[in-house]
Structure 1
Amino acid sequence: MRAVLLRDLQLAVRAGGGFGLGLAFFAIVVILVPFGVGPEPEVLARIAPGILWVAALLAALLSLDRIFAQDAEDGALALIATAPVPLEGVVLAKALAHWLTTGLPLVLAAPVLGVLLHLPAGAMPWLLASLTLGTPALSLIGAFGAALTVGLRRGGLLLSLIVLPLYIPTLIFGAEAVARGAQGLDPLPGLLLLAGVTLGCIALLPFAAAAALRVTLR
């Protein structure tokens, strides 16, 4: 599994591998928001939690089709499936690689972009906490969707249609936790629900994705 993780990280940093694409999209969306809604600090501060989370969600969506597509194209996926390694572990390794190259940069860049949207300083720790807890769920859900659509021609649109509804609970709990933190309220309920979603994804989705891959490789 470590070899799978290292291989995916190497592919991600190559030209066209998608590394940095999500981060650039995240930054562009956040930077464009003041041009669309106006520069008033009060307005930007009120919508900042939702905008940051929606931008992070869409940025994570950009590179999902690459989780299994490259391995399917060069035949590596069939070899991995016959290796003496649980396919569930391979799914976890690939989801971790996606998070390290997409989710983690979003977490690190979020406070800087939050300043651009006049997010209150008191909400910054909760923004970091919510993204740290929630973005792994985005990668795991994306890996499940990618497993369902691997091998399909023009599967990117279908992948988006499958994954976006499953992202909604993470989006709601993450944005609510940040909003409550910005208002001086207790953000802990939202963070606990977010952690529950992520733990549920870790427990269930590797098995679901592995089952989908086995069906595809038959």
Structure 2
Amino acid sequence: MIALLVRDLRLAVRAGGGFGLGLAFFLIVVVLVPFGVGPETGLLARIAPGILWLGALLACLLSLDRIFALDWEDGSLDLIATSPLPMEGVVSIKALAHWLTTGLPLVIATPLFGLLMSLPQAGYGPLVLSLLIGTPALSVIGTFGAALTVGLKRGGLLLSLLVLPLYVPTLIFGAETARRGAEGLDTATPMLMLAGISFGVTALLPFASAAVLRVNLR
């Protein structure tokens, strides 16, 4: 399992779908928003939690089609499927590798991007914590979508259409946690809901993803 994780981390970085791509897209979103809504600090501070969460979500979406595509193209996925490793474990490792190369760098960079959006000081902690809890759900859900579309030509657009509706609950509770934190309100309820979503999809979706992969590999 560890060898598979290391391999996927190396592939993600070499294929250009790792740290740089997601961070660059996130930065572009944060830079362009003030041009669209105006440079008013008060307005930017109000919309900053939602914009930062939306930017992180879209940045995670960029590299989803690479999770299984490279292994499908070179035949590695067939070898992995016939190995002693359980397919559910393989899917979980793929999701973890995606989070480490995409989600975690976004969490680390968020405080800097919050400065560009005039995020209130009280909002930094809840925003970072909500992303730390919520981005694993984005990777796991995205892995399920990637399993559904593996082997399809031009499956990237279909993958986005399938995954984005599933991302909505995570976005709602993540942005609400960050918004309440920025306004000095209690964040316990949306934070617990966000954690419940992350734990739920992490426990259930690897089995669904593994079943879908077995069907696609027949």
Q: Would the TM-score normalized by the shorter structure come out above 0.5?
A: yes
Mapping for residues 38-53 of structure 1, pairs under 5 Å: 38-53=38-53
Using the size of structure 1 for normalisation, the TM-score is 0.98
**Corresponding residue for 1:201?**
201
The alpha-carbon distance between structure 1 residues 36 and 17, as it changes in their structure 2 partners (threshold 3 A), is closer
**Corresponding residue for 2:146?**
146
Structure 1: 5+ residue stretches without partners: none
Report the AA paired with residue 31 of structure 1.
V
Q: Distance in 1 between matches of 2:72 and 2:80?
A: 10
CA RMSD of aligned residues (A): 0.8
Kept in 2, the 8 Å contact 1:45–1:120? The answer is yes
Q: Distance in 2 between matches of 1:15 and 1:75?
A: 17
**Corresponding residue for 1:173?**
173
CA distances 1:24-55 after superposition (whole Å, capped 9, x unpaired): 10011011111111111100000001100110
- Is residue 136 of structure 1 aligned with residue 130 of structure 2? no
Kept in 1, the 8 Å contact 2:94–2:143? The answer is yes
- Is residue 62 of structure 1 aligned with residue 62 of structure 2? yes
**Residue 17 of structure 1, CA deviation:** 4.1
Mapping for residues 17-36 of structure 1, pairs under 5 Å: 17-36=17-36
Kept in 2, the 8 Å contact 1:20–1:101? The answer is no
- Is residue 111 of structure 1 aligned with residue 111 of structure 2? yes
Q: Distance in 2 between matches of 1:24 and 1:141?
A: 22
**Residue 15 of structure 1, CA deviation:** 4.9
Report the AA paired with residue 92 of structure 1.
S
Report the AA paired with residue 60 of structure 1.
C
Q: Distance in 2 between matches of 1:193 and 1:4?
A: 32
Q: Distance in 2 between matches of 1:17 and 1:117?
A: 25
Kept in 2, the 8 Å contact 1:8–1:94? The answer is yes
**Corresponding residue for 1:161?**
161
The alpha-carbon distance between structure 1 residues 18 and 101, as it changes in their structure 2 partners (threshold 3 A), is closer
Q: Which runs of 4+ in 1 moved over 6 A?
A: none
Structure 2: 5+ residue stretches without partners: none
Q: Give the number of aligned pairs.
A: 218
Report the AA paired with residue 94 of structure 1.
K
**Residue 12 of structure 1, CA deviation:** 1.6
Identity %: 72
Q: Distance in 2 between matches of 1:13 and 1:169?
A: 29
Judge which range, 6-15 or 168-177, deviates more: 6-15
Kept in 1, the 8 Å contact 2:19–2:105? The answer is no
